[in-house]
Structure 1
Amino acid sequence: MTKPLVVSIPHSLGREEAMRRLKTGLSRAASSVPVLSVDEERWEDNRMIFRVRALGQAAAGHVDVADDHVQVEVVLPWLLQRFAEAAQAAIRSRGQLLLTKKS
Structure 2
Amino acid sequence: MSAPLVVSIPHRLGREEAVRRLKTGLGRAAASIPVMQVEEERWNGDTLAFRIRALGQIATGQVDVTDDHVEVQVVLPWLLQRFAEMAQATIKRRGQLLLTKDGEK
TM-score band by shorter chain is over 0.9
Sequence identity of aligned pairs in percent?
Answer: 72
Unaligned runs of 5+ in 2: none
Query: What does residue 70 of structure 1 align with?
Result: 70
Offset, 1:75: 0.1
TM-score normalised by length of structure 1: 0.98
Query: What does residue 43 of structure 1 align with?
Result: 43
* Letter paired with 1:22: L
Query: What does residue 84 of structure 2 align with?
Result: 84
Query: What does residue 26 of structure 1 align with?
Result: 26
Offset, 1:26: 1.7
Offset, 1:22: 0.4
TM-score normalised by length of structure 2: 0.96
Query: What does residue 102 of structure 1 align with?
Result: 102
Offset, 1:61: 0.3
Q: Distance in 2 between matches of 1:73 and 1:32?
A: 20
SS state at 1:27 partner: helix
SS state at 1:95 partner: helix
Offset, 1:25: 1.9
Equivalences, count: 103
Query: What does residue 61 of structure 2 align with?
Result: 61
User: Could you list the per-position Cα deviations for residues 2-27 of structure 1 after superposition, in whole angstroms to 9, with x for gaps in the alignment?
Assistant: 10000000000000000000002221
Please, what is the CA RMSD of the aligned residues? 0.6
Offset, 1:30: 1.1
